[in-house]
Chains A and B, each alone.
Chain A
Amino acid sequence: MSAVSLTNIVKRFGKVTAVHRMSMDISDGSFVTLLGPSGCGKTTTLRMIAGLLDPTEGDITIKGNRINDVPIHKRNLGLVFQNYALFPHKTVAENVAFGLKYRSVSKADAQKKVRDALELVQLPHVGDRYPKELSGGQQQRIALARAIVIEPDVLLLDEPLSALDANLREDMRVELKRIQHQIGVTTVFVTHDQSEALAMSDKLVVMSNGVVEQVGAPEEVYNTPASEFVARFLGTSNILDGRCTGLDGSTVALDVNGIGPIQVPRDRAPHLSAEGSAKLVLRAEKLIVASSNAPKDDRIDLTGSVEAVDYQGQAARYFLRIGDHRLQAINMIDDHPFAEGETVSLRFRPRDCAALPET
């Protein structure tokens, strides 16, 4: 049975449709991420699950029970906000114990649960302090402790890491995943940060303009994007127009404008079902820039020139030109990056490409 299930959810604010006919099932104990740019409806969806917004249409069930009409305080959900939302006038221990007051938990039990929760987030000694005496990362851990101490059916995380600075964010990412794994709580995580989404999720739900673009495991979504939007939103992609000239059980034949025929494995084009207009997706890190006199190999080899270089330390992002095409490549740097204006050989393997139908 799904822990959370949304069926044909629609949310309209006046004339604006924020979420359109959204359906998804979240299996028990999994970590699901709603990913998309701001305004895509991901936070609206989370707030509907939380009970902070009413869906205009559709059903939300938690553990098989329809909860559309259950008020927020009876839903037994753990909610963590971007800005922590800790009660500034209560100590850390009082904050964590807050939800236990409304559950029949004895005082001794409550104290033990609070201790355990603080232990779990690795802040066992801050119970007597006030939130403002803690750093941002610590406050976010306390917010997490407060949400999980009530043993919620579902943990809802609304961009919980985006207020933290970059290094801390990556630490918290690992930490959050560890805690989720340890207590096994079903988690819905909202973010606009693709690296968070890819690193943490069992399942990704990519949204755009209130519509689900693709659902799948991170690797699946990254490797076989279902739409141009997903291909562009996750990672850096070169998307080239062309035609599908034939497809069978194992390969898809494409004729890519300005490049020529390419055979892409069938499993990299699961969304392509017929001949006609199609697009080739070539990830920037799969396009290798090589010196023009490097020995040939089995890869497709094109000649182009470097228009601009964005030096990033261990890697470089190249802005390249082949004929009329502008492409991007992100390569690890071996020795020195290629220079602007240099003529280079651009290589890639067809099996690293994905193909999309024209939408």
Chain B
Amino acid sequence: MGIEARERRQPWILLAPALTSVTLLLFVPLAFIVVYSFWLRTATGADQVGFYLDNWQEALGDPFYRDILFSTLRIAAITTVVCAVMGYPAAYFIARSRGNKAILLLMLMLPFWISYIIRTMSWINILGVSGALNWLLQTLGIINEPIQMLYNETTVILGLVHFLLPFMILNVYVALEGIDISLEDAACSLGSTRWQSFLEVTLPLSLPGLAAGGLLCFVLSAGTYITPLVLGGPRDAMFANLVFEAVITQLNWPLGSALSLMLLAILGGLVLIYNHFLGMGQLMKGLG
């Protein structure tokens, strides 16, 4: 075998373990789900093999699913905006700070050392009826009876922001790090104020990072089911909760498959749109 032939083969040999596991653990199960979504669950509880469109008709046609889909996208959108508004200044601060960057970034990473579920559940100890905040308000005599603060859309968004903010900050931070600091100085020397230089130069140059962070926040929050399960009320179910409900509670795998493919199609579409305009490179930068 020649050197060139060997060099052509080498990447494939190196990729083989990863490709094999992705194929076996992702694409094969996904193919099962596609197939499942056309089966039919009968009244007896058995799945009838075949090509039925009933699940798809239900998933796409039932206003119940549509409403929850819209509220899922709305919650994801609000979470993304809140993360952007809160995350950008933090990222800017870290990127422009001198010396203690490593410590600030470490602090940003610290929450990842604790399970996401535990972090989510910690809000119950803070906002619950017998939680810290109610205790404080009662002790101070501001309220007599504990207030019900948990289990609504706001706490779901709170939990999601808590979970996703570091992703946004990291992405924006990476974009800001790549911007030459003398660009703002140059803009100022030409007559723009600090704020104008930020708007004219730094902000536009950091948009790819903001978009990457936004995409991550949106996709992760639109697909979440733990946060609404832990912090939401009965009416705050998100789309992934419906999938969970269909598959685990009702054991209706065909319907669950159709619903999960719907969500996958929407979020996948978003990623494709993002990729078309900005490319995956920025996202990879932020994750690396």
A contact set with B: CB distance below 8 Å: 50-52, 71-79, 81, 83, 85-89, 98-99, 101-103, 146-147, 150
Contacts and interface: CB of A to CB of B under 8 A. Distances in A.
B125 interface: no
Contact of B189 (A78, A83, A87, A88): A78
Given A85-B180, A99-B190, A52 B205 contact: no
A150 B205 CA distance: 24
Contacts of A88: 205
B191 A73 contact: yes
Contacts of A78: 189
A81 B183 CA distance: 9
A79 B205 contact: no
Nearest to B185: A52
Contacts of A87: 183, 186-187, 200-201
A72 B180 contact: no
A73 B194 CA distance: 8
Contact of A102 (B190, B201, B205): B190
Given A73-B194, A75-B189, A81-B182, 11 more contacts: A74-B191, A79-B185, A81-B185, A83-B182, A85-B185, A87-B183, A87-B201, A98-B200, A103-B191, A146-B186, A146-B190
A144 to B, nearest CB: 12
A83 B180 contact: yes
A275 B154 CA distance: 87
Q: How large is the interface on B (under 10, 10 to 19, 20 to 34, 35 or more residues)?
A: 10 to 19
A81 B193 contact: no
Contacts of B180: 83, 85
B188 interface: yes
B205 A72 contact: no
Interface of B: 180, 182-183, 185-194, 196, 200-201, 204-205
Contacts, number: 65
B19 to A, nearest CB: 35
Given A73-B191, A73-B192, A150-B191, A89 B204 contact: yes
A115 to B, nearest CB: 18
- Most B CB within 10 A of own CB, among A52, A79, A81, A87: A87
Given A85-B180, A89-B204, A89-B205, A73 B193 contact: yes
A85 B190 contact: no
B156 to A, nearest CB: 37
Contact of A85 (B183, B194, B196, B205): B183
Contacts of B193: 71, 73
A229 B180 CA distance: 35
A79 B189 contact: yes
Contact of B192 (A76, A81, A102): A102
A52 B188 CA distance: 9
Nearest to B194: A73
Contacts of A86: 186
A77 B189 contact: yes
A76 B188 CA distance: 10
A72 to B, nearest CB: 5
5 contacts: A71-B193, A79-B190, A85-B185, A98-B200, A101-B192
Contacts of A72: 185, 188-189
A72 B182 CA distance: 13
Contacts of B194: 73
Contacts of B192: 73, 98, 101-102
B279 to A, nearest CB: 15
6 closest cross-chain pairs (CB), A and B: A102-B191, A99-B190, A79-B189, A85-B186, A85-B182, A72-B188
A79 B186 contact: yes
A160 B257 CA distance: 62
A175 to B, nearest CB: 20
B282 to A, nearest CB: 14
A103 B191 CA distance: 8
A98 B187 contact: yes
A78 B78 CA distance: 44
B280 to A, nearest CB: 20
B178 to A, nearest CB: 10
A81 B190 CA distance: 13
Given A79-B185, A85-B185, A150 B190 contact: yes
- Most B CB within 10 A of own CB, among A74, A76, A102: A102
